[in-house]
Amino acid sequence: MSTNNNTFGNNIELATQKLMASELVAFPTETVYGLGADATNLIAIKKVFAVKGRPSDHPLIVHISGIDKIELWAKNISVEAYKLAEHFWPGPLTLILAKKDTVLSVITAGQDSVALRVPRHPYALALLRNFNGLVGPSANKYGRISPTSASHVLEDFDSKVGYVLDGGPCAIGIESTIIDCRDNNIKILRSGGVLASDIARVLQRPIVDKINIFANKNNSTLNLNIADNNSVDDACELKVPGLKSSHYAPQKPLYVLSIEDIADKLNKALIKQTRCAVLSFIQCPDKYKNTNVSWYRVDNNPATFNKLLYKNMRDMDRLDVDELIIEKPEENSAWVAALDRLGRASSD
Ligand code: TXA
Ligand code: MG
């Protein structure tokens, strides 16, 4: 990891200069770190795709400093979309809206919609005030685990970014909720820090969050609340690559299992001498102490679990083990974002 002061620190002016010189700057948000580039600078945006190894048909979120900049990027904004922006921004909610013609098509992958978000981190907001907008995909190599600290960004990119603005560990730790607000049939495209019930409360009407947990893997569907009048299937005409069934993944095979299935797997692993790292809600049982099992404990609480999930996955992935195992949280709406990410990160 590079700790050179020129590439790593909390100098917002330097970060601004680098962005203005078409360089990339990773910046902290309350969800995960973003890989920032000036959203009006084609050369810089192309660098984002190149450095991440991201296919060009994957659109980018434009981050803005406040609701006053929404009309620089989007048009035909509904009353409900404004209501949600006013309520949740700054915060972990991304709105998909009809794009203005002036938005570079490289950002939207040629689609006529644009994704907008105002992040809550003070450094991100200070930086964003100097720009109309910054694109900011999660600052990780394509398909890999999102970064929740500056050092995670450097692990993936090191000298490939002009500067990493270090704002400490991310408070939420899981990416923003993305909702399609192009018409009145509001759809959740990616679960995240804002829950369907939070949106429903603000709009005072039911909102569906029907996502395929462990999509295409074991057919388990968590059908969360309310009227079944829309679904991610309908939304798939929109390209939302973060919904691919393999994403957010560690290098080692990852299994997401109930505590009973973990016990079975570990008993077999002890016989086969397989080395496993386990993340569980309970303390390490005595029988696994001083064995090939590395045990991590985390609170059985969605906010704490989410905040530490990507860090824990990275830490476990770095160990000299063969397999990673994470205890599967309860299937209920409070855990929907965690279950979604675990499903996409897991190997079966
Ligand atoms: O929390 C977050 O949203 C973080 C932080 C850095 O803000 N950003 C993030 O960006 O997760 P990224 O690029 O890793 O994921 C953005 C997701 C992708 O799945 C992309 O396909 C989707 O947003 N997206 C962007 N523009 C879109 C559009 N016009 N229509 C549909 N999906 C879009
Ligand atoms: Mg990402």
What pLDDT sits at residue 236? 38
Which range has the worst mean pLDDT, 150-164, 208-222, 237-251, 284-298? 208-222
Report the C-alpha gap between 263 and 225 in whole angstroms: 32
Of 206 and 237, more confident: 206
pLDDT in tens, 284-300: 999 999 999 999 999 99
Q: What percent of the chain lies above the pLDDT cut of 90?
A: 82
The stretch 145-173 carries a mean pLDDT of 95
Output the pLDDT for position 309.
98
Tell me if 113 CB under 6 Å of ligand 1: yes
* Ligand 1 atom at shortest distance from the alpha carbon of 115: 26
Mean pLDDT along residues 167-195: 95
- Is the pLDDT confidence value at 160 over 70? yes
Pick from 344, 347, 348: nearest CA to 213: 344
The closest residue, in CA terms, to atom 15 on ligand 1 is 137
Any idea which ligand is nearest the CA of 191? 1
Query: 132 pLDDT exceeds 90?
Result: yes
Centre of ligand 2 to C-alpha 201, Å, is 28
CB distance 94 to 242 below 8 Å: no
The pLDDT assigned to 294 comes to 97
Q: Which of ligand 1's atoms lies nearest the C-alpha of 113?
A: 29
pLDDT for residue 263: 97
Residue 291's pLDDT is: 93
Distance from the alpha carbon of residue 230 to the mean position of ligand 2, in angstroms:
24
- Ligand 1 atom with the smallest distance to the CA of 54 is 13
Cis-peptide, bond into residue 90, ω within 30° of zero: yes
The pLDDT, as a whole number, for residue 333 is 87
Q: What is the DSSP string of 161-188?
A: SSEEE---S-SS-SPPEEEE-SSSS-EE
Dump the DSSP string for 278-303: EEESSPPPGGGTTSSEEEEE--S-HH
Would you state the pLDDT for residue 60?
98
* Ligand 1 touching residue 147 (CB < 6 A): no
Average pLDDT over residues 175-189: 95
State in Å: Cα 90 to ligand 1 middle. 16
Using an 8 Å Cβ cutoff, are 123 and 208 in contact? no
CA 227 to chain centre: 27
Atom of ligand 1 nearest to the CA of 111: 29
Task: Please give the pLDDT value at position 211.
Answer: 52
Q: Is 37 near ligand 1, meaning CB less than 6 Å away?
A: no
Give strand pairing partners of 324. 254, 277
Whether 48 contacts 135, CB under 8 Å? yes
- The model's pTM is 0.91
Compute the distance from residue 59 Cα to the ligand 1 centre, in Å.
7
Task: Using a CB cutoff of 5 Å, list residues around ligand 2, an ion.
Answer: 138
Asked if residue 212 has pLDDT above 90, the reply is no
The alpha carbon of 119 and the centre of ligand 1 are apart by a number of angstroms equal to 13
Q: Is the CB of 143 under 6 A from ligand 1?
A: no
Ligand 1 site, residue 242, Cβ cutoff 6 A: yes
Residue with tokens 């709105």: 95
pLDDT, tens digit (0-9, with 9 covering 90-100), for 15-42: 999 999 999 999 999 999 999 999 999 9
**Chain-wide mean pLDDT for the chain?**
89
Is residue 120 within 6 Å of ligand 1 at its C-beta?
no
The closest-lying atom of ligand 1 relative to the alpha carbon of residue 35 is 6
The contacts of residue 36 (CB under 8 Å, 6+ apart) are 19, 24, 25, 26, 27, 63, 127, 134, 135, 136
Tokens of 110: 């040629």
pLDDT of residue 217: 42
What is the 94 CA–ligand 1 centroid distance (Å)? 8
Strands (E), the chain: 8-9, 25-27, 34-38, 61-63, 74-75, 93-99, 113-117, 134-135, 163-165, 177-180, 187-190, 209-211, 222-224, 254-257, 276-280, 293-297, 323-327
The number of the ligand 1 atom at minimal distance from the alpha carbon of 193 is 1
The per-residue pLDDT for range 306-331, each reduced to its tens digit, is 999 999 999 999 999 999 999 999 99
The protein residue with its alpha carbon nearest to ligand 1, atom 29, reads 114
Minimum mean pLDDT range among 77-81, 159-163, 305-309, 310-314? 159-163
Per-residue model confidence (pLDDT) at position 348: 72
pLDDT bin (cut points 50, 70, 90) of residue 219 is very low
Q: Which residue of 33, 157, 175 sits with most ligand 1 atoms within 8 Å of its CB, as the best mutation to test the pocket?
A: 175
